[in-house]
Structure 1
Amino acid sequence: MLNNQGINVFSRESGKLPRIYNWNFTVQREITPNLTIEGAYVGNHGTRLIAGFLKQLNQNDYSVLSMGDKLLQQIDSEAEAQALGVPYPYPGFTGTVAQALRPYPQYHDISDPQATVGESDYNALQVKAMQRTTHGLDFLISYTLSKNITTVDDAFGWGGFGVLGAVNAKNLSLERGLAVDTTFTNSRGDRTHNLVLSFGYELPFAKHAQRRVAKEVVGGWRVNGIFQYASGAALPLSPYYPNNLANVIFNNEGRYDRVPDIAIRNNVSNASPGVSFMFNPDAFRDPQPFTLGNAARTYGDLRGFPFFNEDLSITKQFQVRESKRLELRMDAFNLLNRSVFNDPSTAFYDTPRIQSGRAIGYGTFFGRKNFSRQLQLSLKFVF
């Protein structure tokens, strides 16, 4: 009844809870009673992560590629199968040689949507300096140098952006790559560098004022800020099905060939939407017929734009009575009005070109992820 259809299966391992192993080593030093610095190595390893698209039970073995064009020839009878030198799967079978060679030729794809075959590895150097309020100033400076490698980029096991299945279900190490931000935000995925500075400073003008009125005017001012600077997130090459591997291996995803000694990223100094080509199309090429390309899933040079942002607030407090006060506050979000552009296209099959005066295709980008500078003024009465 289910012949010539795709089916889902569930095994004893399906849907099991993942295992995450965490470890760290931290050294902390107190420089002054209020200032400490800290350095830490942080790591974790995840196993049994849900990665349903990676477990394809009906893929052909790559050894069949040696048959070349014969894989696409049609079989409509046992005699035709014998003439082609391949087994006839069952009476009434019709399909290609490639279909006849599948482990379960009566079915199309066989997937385990709850397969727990995903893995992840995270390693980081984390450095922190923290000062408690001293002379009106407190701050926290955090820097992270990290690498996040995984076979599955999202929590639901869909394989992540740009991944439709395992290239080779018998060798999932080919799926290991830098973690990709599947949320299209600035919070996830592999980012090599991440620096965050937060601070608060009570302006010291009041202590120099002699009169009470002057103290009320120049006192009670405080500046707070959060500044963040991070590397661009890792991007995948978009899915592609070169040389009919999808019809002979049935893996739903192919790979390009990486061209040696050719830079992936163009040297672009002032990137502009609809103008700049960020990636070099000569860095990859289609593989030879009936071969799997040697390109990896991700590359360190195939990244989106860095994330730079500064938020600043200035507050002024007016003491009305001992338990009552007014607080005037101005917040500036994206203070320097920086533009964080959307990720460049990694659709290698989309030839980069100029169309209607705009750059489109591989390596181009349009629009921005973040908002323009926003100012907010508020008044609060505390009692």
Structure 2
Amino acid sequence: ALAQPTGNSPNRDARSHTTWADDVRFTKGNHSMSAGAWVQRVQQNMYGGAQYTAGTANYNTLLAFLQDNLTQFFATSNPQPLYFRSTEVAWYLQDDIKLKPNLTLRLGLRDELTNGWNELRGHAANYVFDPNGIIQTDPRIASSAFLENNAKSLWEPRIGLTWDPTGSGKWSVRAGFGIYNDLQDNLGHRLNADPPFGARMTITGKPLLSIVGTIPFGTQPPPSCHSPADKNTTCSIFSPGGLDPVMHTPTLQQWSLTVQRQLSQNFMVELSYVGSQAYHVVGAEDLNMAVPQVCSDPTGCYSGGINATGTSGGIPLCGGTTPCPKVPQGMTYLPATPPKTFVTTGTTKLTQRPNPFVGPMQSWFYNTTSSYHSGSVSLTKRATRGLAFKANYTFSKLLDIESAFLATSGANEPPTVLNPFDLNMNRGLASYNLKHQFNANFTYQLPFGRGQHFGGGAAGPADKVIGGWQWNGSITAQGGFPFTPTVGSNVSGTGDTQNPDVPNRNPAFNGPVVLGTDGFRTTGRYFDRNGFSLPLAGTFGNVARGSFIGPAFYNFDTSLFKNFSFTEEYRLQFRVEAFNLLNRTNFASPNPVTFSGNNYSSSAGVITQTANPSRQIQFALKLLF
């Protein structure tokens, strides 16, 4: 695409917080108690889901652009300002109880609440579902974005323990458990594109020159279609955004155990374990997609989903004159149901969607989960003879349902879940999971100059030159981020163009699928695309999300400081800083799109970016006073 929508204009939005907080602490006997409260008023003014331009044109190729062969044109005819408000409150009680000189117990309780997400003028438009779970054709318009407030009281108990087993001060054992909530207070951008206050129109199949000047800006878009006979120039098919109308606050349960041991006066080792389980985690889902079924016919079932375009002799066709495939009994598939035709214009509309008068949706639903477990070991050296360092290694595993918009590394996976009716199909390694991670940093006051091992008797200009040097460095070595190969098109026929399907593993392929960076240097691909095959139309691929790991990352940054002391109050510092000193090339994740149409993609597995820049050296002067 040569041009695509760029999202909302941040210049037209405004957000402010007014916060009050206070804490009190007091001690009585072996109890050290504290209590506090926090109140925050959130105001978020949004100005519709528009770019405040005349529209955005989308062309697939340069030739299409030159010929004005427009793929899609996006425009918002009448964006309306929205004024969202929310009040958040929290309070807590905590008691540190010194049971013994070497044993302290911490008990705490926190409560959080919010009055919801409300629009001042009653213009919160959000789609809701009927008792059968079918999305309604028109959004519900009210003051609150939600049907109910599930954040009126969110209890968060905490317990912690600190113990010195020997009482010598050389051991420390700490354990804890807590529940934490993430109050949602930045939701305006999820509601500003729903009709009638910010609906975006999509025009297809028309030259740009025939569109410009014909859109009636400043007027409401045509209302929703409600029957096949309605589909004409006076009704619209909207694609909802929005939020779960019965949203629950994301919640995390976390527990930990840490053991520290002082090895000597200057060295300490630490072993720790951290685990967590999160629920009510947000996921982008299309709950108006065609519902998958399990084939119950012993002779097989025709699959295709939205790829079904018609019939011939009672056999459904998937594109032109090609018969749709048959899947065996017991397999999950989307039936090859030909689309219904709107009476007035002949424009087709898919009947596989639960509500055929609502388009594909990408709403946030708080129904996914995640889990995390990690073990780490660290060694710390206090500063002696000018040298201090800390080294840490962590082994971890993070599983979730979707993480595409939770981290920058989320670009390694599609932005919506594959099948919202079976979320376990999407469960896998999070896109920002790191199985192995090693970090180390050090600071070394070089032993030159007055009072040091070398040149200890230096004075005057000699000491100014050789003394006051400091060497610093940091080392990072970690495994790669997970990535998910994709098909590049909606082979499953769900109608969700935001989520390219995953391929199948090729049972006829025997070689290694992941070739690694060495393989990329020799073959031009990080993974072998022949390790995958295209799923049948109307079926899901069997490649698990996050089942492949991208390139590892290694980096060494260092710096050299020289301190010049003029008086007790003024000091000048000269700095030489080198980033990626070894000039190592760290590759980014490969292109995951494996197929282009029915053929292998020429760019599958190709790496086009690096994960960090090449060596950079900078010089600086810093005045300290």
Q: TM-score, normalised by structure 2?
A: 0.50
Alignment CA distance shift 1:204-1:56 (3 Å)? same
Structure 1 residue 2 corresponds to structure 2 residue 234: no
Shift of 1:70: 8.7
- 1:204-233, CA deviations, whole angstroms, 9 ceiling, x for partnerless residues? 123232342444432211101111111111
Deviations 1:261-305 (A, max 9, x none): 542212653744x96221011221112454332221221xx2332
Larger radius of gyration: 2
Structure 2 gap segments, 5+ residues each:
1-223, 232-236, 312-336
Tell me which amino acid in the other structure corresponds to 1:178: L
* 1:197 paired residue among 436, 440, 448: 440
2:278 alignment partner in structure 1: 46
Aligned letter for 2:560?
Answer: I
Which residue does 1:315 correspond to in 2? 561
Partner AA of 2:603 in structure 1: G
Q: Measured at CA, do residues 95 and 25 of structure 1 come closer, stay the same or move farther in structure 2, by a change above 3 Å?
A: farther
Contact 1:241 1:255 in 2 (8 A): no
Aligned 8 A contact 2:480 2:551 in 1: yes
Q: Deviations over 1:108-165 (max 9, x none)?
A: 43x47131122222211121111121111111111111112211214579x9534254
Alignment of 1:67-82 (within 5 A): 67-68=301-302, 72=308, 74=310
State the aligned residue count: 351
In 1, Cα distance between equivalents of 2:289 and 2:593: 27
Identity over aligned residues, as a percent?
25
Distance in 1 (CA, whole Å) between partners of 2:303 and 2:448 is 83
- 1:43·1:124 contact (CA, 8 Å) conserved in 2? yes
Q: Does 1:335 align with 2:581?
A: yes
Instruction: Show the 5 A alignment for 1:241-320.
Output: 241=489, 243=491, 245-246=493-494, 253-260=500-507, 262-266=511-515, 269=518, 271-272=520-521, 276-299=524-547, 302-320=548-566
C-alpha deviation, 1:89, in angstroms: 9.7
Q: Matches of 1:95 and 1:60 in 2, distance apart?
A: 23
Name the SS of the counterpart of 2:530 in structure 1: helix
Residue in 2 that maps onto 1:114: 364
Partner of residue 56 from structure 1, selected from 287, 295, 320 = 287
- Closer, same or farther: CA 382–349 of 1 in aligned 2, 3 Å: same
Match of 2:259 among 27, 34, 37: 27
Give the superposition deviation at 1:99: 4.4
SS of equivalent to 2:302 = helix
Partner SS state of residue 169, structure 1:
coil
Larger helix proportion, structure 1 or 2?
Answer: 1
Amino acid across the alignment from 1:266? L
Q: Which is further off, 54-63 or 129-138?
A: 54-63
Over 3 Å counting, the alpha-carbon distance change for 1:243 and 1:371 in structure 2 is closer
2:481 corresponds to which letter in structure 1?
Answer: A
CA contact (8 A) 2:304 2:493 kept: no
Maintained 8 Å contact 2:428/2:546: yes
- Name which of 391, 399, 421 aligns with 1:149: 399
Taking the aligned partners of 1:361 and 1:253, their CA distance within structure 2 comes to 16
CA RMSD, Structure 1 to Structure 2 (Å): 3.6
TM-superposition CA deviations, 1:166-212 (whole Å, max 9, x none): 332221011112222xxxxxxxx112111111110111123232342
| Deviations 1:71-118 (CA, angstroms, capped at 9, x unpaired) | 73649xxxxxxxxxx9x999979998x944543345443x47131122
Residue number in structure 2 paired with 1:178: 429
Contact 1:89/1:105 (CA < 8 Å) preserved in 2? no
Q: CA 1:36/1:7 → structure 2, altered by over 3 Å: closer, same or farther? A: same
Change (3 A) 1:379 1:258: same
Pairwise CA distance, 1:29: 0.8
